[in-house]
């Protein structure tokens, strides 16, 4: 095949050529006296993406799931009560992990297509006057359903109850794509991964931790058993610019370039670009006469759209047709919505033309799978929106904020 499949899944995402080339280098000595000159600024610059006021960031050679586990085992104790909500496959997996690690989960089981239930959280927290709940968990962006939740609203509910629990956020498919204000919202642990907004291959679990969470780690009694994810081991070596075990050096070099690109575009511009790409996709979905899994506009994600197919159509066949016939990779429906939805990932290094190509492939795959849609309806609606709202210069790449590779 001359052309690689066009990647429009919710992660891993497309890797910019500049990032790929930054990783294309010989192996290096991760214990050399020069290595800290590279790593120490890296730790500081990641904190800017999370908008942290204090604390530190840990980079594990793991996936986001590893960072989930690190957040739990370094701050909580077996038997601790925690407040969680489940409304999709990935929020479900975090609940499953918490239970398997021995936490007592107070669970809000919500309809898929909705998000963190702020009113229920507020009610539960206000009644917990003994402060038995030690942590409140929230998935900022549920990738399985294309749902975003209001983390500022979670903090507001905690403050209204004057509750001292830790605030733990899954930001795997949101950080560096959707606004995350750790400092302002006083998030204590925020989990991310390299393969989504950071535009890298899978392999880095990134965990941002507040001073409050670091203090919880120091006072944790009894301690959860841990080794690989130990904060203590990381702190001892990270402070010197090293790691307690062999780091993924090529991925760290790619991360350096990714952070440079994020700084060059600017976080607010990145958030605006993602909102714009997502709106274009939603215009197409409306034109097709289809529905998003997200039940209301307030839940709609700017990084992934889960789209229902009509009754009698298997969404897995749409995904398969797109892949084999049109060389487009889409996300399948997971567990409860398997066969009912397909997903378009619109996060990371994407622009209007890339989204337009994805929508063109989706239209053909839908039509070939038996969905009655007019070819060009969705791409036309998205194209009209992109054209009418274009802000880049039509005469200069420099004005558009673009640099030569």
259-295 tens-digit pLDDT: 999 999 999 999 999 999 999 999 999 999 999 999 9
Find the mean pLDDT for residues 18-38. Answer: 97
pLDDT in tens, 242-260: 999 999 999 999 999 999 9
In angstroms, what CA-CA distances link 105 with 83, 134, 210, 314? Answer: 6, 10, 23, 35
Give pLDDT, residue 3. Answer: 81
Cα–Cα nearest to 118, from 147, 102, 138? 138
For 340-397, write each residue's pLDDT tens digit: 999 999 999 999 999 999 999 999 999 999 999 999 999 999 999 999 999 887 777 7
pLDDT at 1: 63
What are the boundaries of each domain within the chain? 6-11+267-388, 17-263
Average pLDDT for residues 109-135, to the nearest whole number? 98
Which of the four pLDDT bands, split at 50, 70 and 90, describes residue 404?
A: very low
SS3 335: helix
Mean pLDDT confidence for 183-207: 98
At 396 the pLDDT is: 75
pTM of the predicted model, to two decimals? Answer: 0.95
Residue holding tokens 């009698």? 312
Structure tokens at 131: 């402060």
Q: What's the chain's average pLDDT?
A: 96
Contact of 142 with 304, CB cutoff 8 Å: no
Instruction: Please state, in angstroms and rounded to a whole number, the distance separating the CA atoms of residues 288 and 115.
Output: 25
Q: Does domain 17-263 have CATH number 3.40.640.10?
A: yes
What pLDDT is stored for residue 24 in this prediction?
A: 97
> Does 141 score more than 90 pLDDT?
yes
**19-28: b (≥16 Cβ within 10 Å) or e:** beebbeeeee
4 falls in which pLDDT band (50, 70, 90)?
confident
The predicted pLDDT at position 398 comes to 61
Nearest 10 degrees: Cα torsion 380, 383, 385, 388: -120
Is the pLDDT reported for residue 400 higher than 70? no
Task: Residue 390: count other Cβ atoms within 10 Å of its Cβ.
Answer: 11
Query: Is residue 402 over pLDDT 90?
Result: no
Give the H or E element holding residue 160.
helix 151-160
User: In this structure, is the dihedral angle defined by the CA atoms of residues 217, 218, 221 and 226, taken in order, positive or negative?
Assistant: positive
Q: What is the residue whose two structure tokens read 């030569």?
A: 404
Reduce the DSSP state of residue 277 to 3 states and report it.
Answer: helix
Choice between 105 and 395, residue whose per-residue pLDDT is larger: 105
- 6-11+267-388 under CATH 1.20.120.80, yes or no: no
pLDDT tens string 33-42? 999 999 999 9
Residue 53 pLDDT more than 90? yes
Same fold, 6-11+267-388 and 17-263: no
- Residue 295 CA: distances (Å) to CA of 154, 301, 303: 19, 11, 16
């Amino acid at each position: 095949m001359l052309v690689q499949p066009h990647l429009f899944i919710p992660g891993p995402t497309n890797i910019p050529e500049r990032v790929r080339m930054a990783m294309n280098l010989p192996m290096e000595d991760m214990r050399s006296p020069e290595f800290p000159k590279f790593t120490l600024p890296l730790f500081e610059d990641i904190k800017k993406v999370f908008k942290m006021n204090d604390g530190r960031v840990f980079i594990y050679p793991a996936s986001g799931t590893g960072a989930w586990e690190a957040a739990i085992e370094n701050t909580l104790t077996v038997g601790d009560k925690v407040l969680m909500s489940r409304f999709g496959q990935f929020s479900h997996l975090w609940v499953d992990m918490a239970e398997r690690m021995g936490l007592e989960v107070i669970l809000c089981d919500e309809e898929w297509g909705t998000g963190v239930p702020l009113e229920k959280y507020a009610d539960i927290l206000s009644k917990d006057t003994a402060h038995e709940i030690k942590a409140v968990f929230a998935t900022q962006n549920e990738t399985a359903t294309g749902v975003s939740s209001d983390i500022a609203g979670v903090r507001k509910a905690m403050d209204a109850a004057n509750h001292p629990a830790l605030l733990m956020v899954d930001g795997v498919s949101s950080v560096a794509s959707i606004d995350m204000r750790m400092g302002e919202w006083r998030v204590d642990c925020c989990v991310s991964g390299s393969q989504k907004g950071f535009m890298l291959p899978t392999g880095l679990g990134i965990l941002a931790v507040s001073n409050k969470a670091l203090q919880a780690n120091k006072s944790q009694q009894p301690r959860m058993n841990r080794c690989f994810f130990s904060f203590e081991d990381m702190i001892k070596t990270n402070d010197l610019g090293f790691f307690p075990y062999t780091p993924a050096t090529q991925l760290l070099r790619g991360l350096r370039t990714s952070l440079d690109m994020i700084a060059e575009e600017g976080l607010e511009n990145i958030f605006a670009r993602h909102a714009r790409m997502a709106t274009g996709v939603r215009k197409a979905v409306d034109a097709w006469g289809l529905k998003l899994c997200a039940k209301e506009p307030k839940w709609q994600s700017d990084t992934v759209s889960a789209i229902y197919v009509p009754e009698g159509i298997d969404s897995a066949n749409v995904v398969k047709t797109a892949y084999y016939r049109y060389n487009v990779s889409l996300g399948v429906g997971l567990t409860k919505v398997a066969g009912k939805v397909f997903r378009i990932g619109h996060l990371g290094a994407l622009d209007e033309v890339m989204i337009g190509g994805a929508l063109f492939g989706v239209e053909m795959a839908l039509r070939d799978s038996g969905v009655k849609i007019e070819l060009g309806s969705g791409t036309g609606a998205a194209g009209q929106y992109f054209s009418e709202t274009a802000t880049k210069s039509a005469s200069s790449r420099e004005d558009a904020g673009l640099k030569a590779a």
